[in-house]
Structure 1
Amino acid sequence: MACANSLIDTLSTENKEVIIYSDSQAVLKALERKDTTSALVRECINTFNSLAERTKVSIAWVPGRQGNGCTEKADELGRMGASIQFYGPEPYLIHITSQKTAAI
């Protein structure tokens, strides 16, 4: 998601092709669903649609942990993204987990 937002901000010319690689089949399947209830998936789809107004966007699956440069770079970028301080509302799941933990 951050990658797509970054592309929207930095892509200066039209008619460039953007290929986003993911080793997560679950993510790709979630993006293909028409009836998602996930706000995060909807936000991601909207971001990709905004990007697609300016350039061709493709999302491709690559097998994970194969030792190729794509997945190693994705892992590196994922670790960087995970280390960034998150600002905004907390995910709802955290509240549910906290409530269940407190009840036990």
Structure 2
Amino acid sequence: MQNRDEIKKILEENPAVMLYFSAPTCNVCHALKPKLFEAIKSNFKEFQIISIDTSVDQETAAYFNVFAIPTVLVFLESKEFLRKSRHMSVDEVIREIKRPYEIMMR
């Protein structure tokens, strides 16, 4: 588990980062996580993925203004590009990232 400063450093050093906020009591989080992580890894080779357990790390969740789970934040070149909370599909997330990611990685 990374602390907030470590996450900020990862955001600065990597062109594409996904933060996945969840908690052990969230059934939707557990169903979505493996599918989303696999889709990100297979579609976008340069992505760093960080999973944040909001039941343990509420400070980091608050820092990123995350108050619902699951929440996905995607950062491209250190800037927040996409924020999805609660109701999302894997295809929807991939579709929204694909074009900007490809342009950025040329």
| Same-fold status (TM-score > 0.5) | no
Pick the structure with greater CA Rg.
1
Q: Normalization by structure 2: what TM-score? A: 0.31
TM-score where L is the length of structure 1: 0.31
